Amino acid sequence: MATQIKFGTSGWRAIVAEEFTFENVRRAVHGISRYVAAQNPKSPKVIVGRDPRFLGETFVAMAADILSSYQITPLVIAEAAPTPAISYGVTQAKADGAINFTASHNPPEYNGIKFSTRDGAPALPEATKAIEAAIADFDTHPETSKGSRSKTQPIDPRRMYLSRLREIVDFDVIKKAGLKVAFDPLWGAARGYSDALLRESGVEVATVHDYRDVLFGGHAPEPDDHLLDDLRQKMREIGAGLGIATDGDADRFGIVDQDGTFLQPNYIIALLFDYLVETRGWRNGVAKSVATTNMINALAEKYKIQLYETPVGFKYIGELIKEDKIAIGGEESAGLSIRKHVPEKDGVLAGLLCCEMAARRGASLGKQLEALFGEVGSFYPLRENFRLTPEVQGKFTEKLRRDPTEFCGSKVASVVRIDGLKLVLADGSWVCYRLSGTEPVVRAYTEARSKEGLEKLSAAAKSWIFD
């Protein structure tokens, strides 16, 4: 029986040679081709891109061949390209979507397919459901359309995308401040993007991991605290005021302050929200996933700005960007974008905006965060993953259906079911549980107003799962 291909919050991902096989990739691309052909029967075109993973070029060539058999013109990107650059390319080329071979920040043994629709946004559930149905249809009716094949055309979104970033980011401010920057693309798709823009603007920048390695140094290409020691070392070497990093496909970011402190994405989103209101005067709204810090809520209240709380998955924030309802939208998992930009996570943009913010304000990000705590109070968020036995998972799934009135010795002020179960307590602290759709894991997100409160809340969150 054929493997069921399911598109989750960021497409379909699987281990190469286990489920991510040539046969399954063909099935997935046939499904996407049928979906696109049904959406636009007249001269459709689809961008095909990749990150630097193993066999990426082979998968791109295969996808181009299948698309052309449906009279869909494949617009092929020769080099590895960031997901946000591909997204921008879709809108500029007026393409009907993009097939992007990437497993993002997943370990090197994974690959995947992200499908963007014609607006450059990650495909919404109705689109992915239609693609899954088209894959099933191909399994039972494998014939492709007859007629002349479309010719492959090259496309290079790099120039267009970099030009757009020059319009958004004030590189003169960074240069005038004399800010030195270290950059870590983690062997990924942003090589030659963030650092090239800074360098051409006269900013001193040093790069680590600036070569292709399909094994990403032997670990996941994730710009997280424990994987950024080489970046810290380079910062010390050049006396950098900031370290910026991107993941495998450059849709996520990691930021290291001048003293080597990793600033978690929750704080970066809050700082940039505050900064964009101050410098751009944008007050049209702000969006965050249900699992992202309530510091965003406090800032929205301070500025009297509309707050949108979404399910986890950037596609929901992308919709608000498309409608120009928000100045910035972000997720605690290191994804953000801003108004009049791509409706997709952009790790390159996030790092460059942090450079601008540090340069213009003339203060470290840590100092800026302290100042923000002084204005709206302190927030201490945490995310933990817990593996569940089948027995515990069954009991816990049942427990998630209830509405507790008390948690961790405090009254539950509100129950939020936008995504999973979120309990907001009387003192403003909260816990949110989300079951993984692909493995026996529950993600527990907690946030308290003090470090001591976080320790207590985190312990309570764990015991509630296993009691």
Domain boundaries, the chain: 12-157, 169-376, 380-466
The amino acid occupying position 336 is L
Tokens of 345: 């996570």
3 state SS of 3: coil
Q: Residue 334: which region, alpha, beta or left (left: phi > 0; alpha: psi -120 to 50)? A: left
The CATH homologous superfamily to which domain 380-466 belongs is: Alpha-D-phosphohexomutase, C-terminal domain (3.30.310.50)
3 state SS of 425: strand
Provide CB contacts within 8 A for 134, sequence distance 6+. 30, 31, 32, 34, 35, 38
CB 99 within 8 A of CB 30: no
CB 11 within 8 A of CB 106: no
The amino acid occupying position 173 is V
Please list the residues that pair with 153 across neighbouring strands. 75
What b/e sequence results for 94-114 when a residue is b if at least 16 CB atoms lie within 10 Å of its CB, and e otherwise?
ebbbbbbbbbbbbebbbbbbb
DSSP 16: B
User: H or E segment at 359?
Assistant: helix 347-361
* 149 to 37, 43, 77, 261, 436: CA distances (angstroms): 13, 11, 19, 54, 41
Note if the pTM is more than 0.95.
Answer: yes
The amino acid occupying position 258 is Q
CB 384 within 8 A of CB 462: yes
d(CA 379, CA 381): 6
Provide CB contacts within 8 A for 301, sequence distance 6+. 307
Q: Which of 123, 105, 140, 158 lies closest to 347, judged by CA?
A: 105
Q: How far is CA 299 from the centre of its chain?
A: 22
Radius of gyration of the chain measured on its C-alpha atoms: 22
Residue 417: HSE in the Cβ half-sphere, 13 Å Cα cutoff = 5
Is 116 buried (19+), middle (13-18) or exposed (0-12) by CB count in 10 A?
buried
Strands (E), 105-215: 110-117, 153-154, 181-184, 205-207
The amino acid occupying position 259 is D
CB 108 within 8 A of CB 54: yes
Residue 436 has a pLDDT of 86
User: H or E segment at 76?
Assistant: strand 73-76
Q: Do domains 12-157 and 380-466 have the same CATH topology?
A: no
Residue 147 has a pLDDT of 75
Please list the residues that pair with 156 across neighbouring strands. none
Residue 152 has a pLDDT of 96
Tokens of 355: 């450079």
Is 69 buried (19+), middle (13-18) or exposed (0-12) by CB count in 10 A?
middle
CA dihedral 306, 309, 313, 315 (to 10 degrees): -30
Q: 419: how many CB neighbours lie within 10 A of its CB?
A: 19
d(CA 116, CA 70): 18
Render each residue's pLDDT in the chain as its tens digit; 467 residues.
688 998 876 789 999 999 999 999 999 999 999 999 999 989 999 999 999 999 999 999 999 999 999 999 999 999 999 999 999 999 999 999 999 999 999 999 999 999 999 999 999 999 999 999 999 999 999 887 667 899 999 999 999 999 999 999 999 999 999 999 999 999 999 999 999 999 999 999 999 999 999 999 999 999 999 999 999 999 999 999 999 999 999 999 999 999 999 999 999 999 999 999 999 999 999 999 999 999 999 999 999 999 999 999 999 999 999 999 999 999 999 999 999 999 999 999 999 999 999 999 999 999 999 999 999 999 999 999 999 999 999 999 999 999 999 999 999 999 999 999 999 999 999 999 999 877 899 999 999 999 999 999 999 999 999 98
d(CA 309, CA 290): 6
* 417 to 309, 400, 444: CA distances (angstroms): 11, 10, 14
Provide CB contacts within 8 A for 55, sequence distance 6+. 16, 111
One-character DSSP codes across 80-119: ---HHHHHHHHHHHT-SEEEEE--TTS-TTEEEEEEEETT
The CATH homologous superfamily to which domain 169-376 belongs is: Alpha-D-Glucose-1,6-Bisphosphate, subunit A, domain 3 (3.40.120.10)
Query: What is the strand order of the sheet 410-416 is part of?
Result: 380-387, 441-448, 430-435, 421-425, 410-416, 406-407
d(CA 306, CA 284): 7
Paired sense of beta strands 410-416 and 406-407, if any: antiparallel
Look at domain 12-157 and name its CATH class.
Answer: alpha beta
